[in-house]
Structure formats: C-alpha cells, structure tokens
Amino acid sequence: MKASENYYDQLEEPVKSCFLALHHLILNQDKDIAPAWKYGMPFFCYKGRMVCYLWIHKKHQQPYIGIVEGKHFNEPFLLQEGRLRMKIMLLDPHKDLPVARIKAIIHKAIRLYKTGLIATKNSVHF
C-alpha cells in the first residue's frame, strides 16, 4: 500500500471523505497534475512542481488545501497566517465543498507555471 493510500485510510470521517473528494477533484483539473507524497503529506504537482497539498489545521482541526505559491494570490478566503510562501483554504468537512472556488484556485495556481511566472522544473532562467 502506498503511503498516500495509508494516509487517507487512517483518517476518520468526515475528513476522510473530504480529502478523497479533494484528491479526485484536484487531479481532474489538468492532465499534467500528478499526486505525490512529500514531507509526510499528499501533494499535487504540475509537471513535477508542487501546486498544493492537503492537511489538517492544528488549531482549527479542519482540513485545508495548502497552495504552495499562495503569496501570489489575493483572495480573501485564503489565509497566510505565519507562512511566507503558502496560503491555505480552510474547509468544513460537514458542508459541501466549494467546488467552483477550489477549481478556480487550482487553475490559477497552474497558470503561474504555464505562463512562466513561476519557473517549472524543466525551465532554464538566465
């Protein structure tokens, strides 16, 4: 069993269902998004570059999507807290996922790589 599968299996409901739905939703946003296991948590990468990850907020005990290049985003629902680079989107596992908002953020994050605002793994910059 993969570490990511074990991670999801050990979660309790409703967080487990929330994360599994997010996993599926994120992977379906672009053919070049792939799951990865980094730093002991599930990540999603675009052409090898980290886009986002799933985790549980220690203080709020809520699942969230961490946007790796969140510092480039100004959406008020994304929290920076003490992070320099990343922002998070807290989710309530007892409510329906804000699918349109999640899709928009994932597409915006991918666009950072596609437009060259953030270098992709294979890019060369002088």
Distance, first Cα to last Cα, the chain: 42
Instruction: Give me the residues paired with residue 64 across strands.
Output: 55, 90
Q: Find out whether 47 and 80 touch, Cβ atoms under 8 Å.
A: no
SS3 of residue 70 by DSSP: helix
The whole-angstrom separation of Cα 121 and Cα 35 is: 16
Per-residue pLDDT of the chain (126 residues; tens, 9 = 90+): 466 668 999 999 999 999 999 999 999 999 999 999 999 999 999 999 999 999 999 999 999 999 999 999 999 999 999 899 999 999 999 999 999 999 999 999 999 998 887 765 544 433
**How many other β-carbons are positioned within 10 Å of the β-carbon of residue 81?**
9
Domains, the chain, in order of start with CATH, read 3-114 (3.90.1150.200)
The whole-angstrom separation of Cα 91 and Cα 71 is: 19
Q: What is the pTM of this model?
A: 0.88
Residue whose entry in the numeric block shows the structure tokens 């409703």: 14
- Extract the tokens encoding 16: 């487990």
Q: Find out whether 38 and 31 touch, Cβ atoms under 8 Å.
A: no
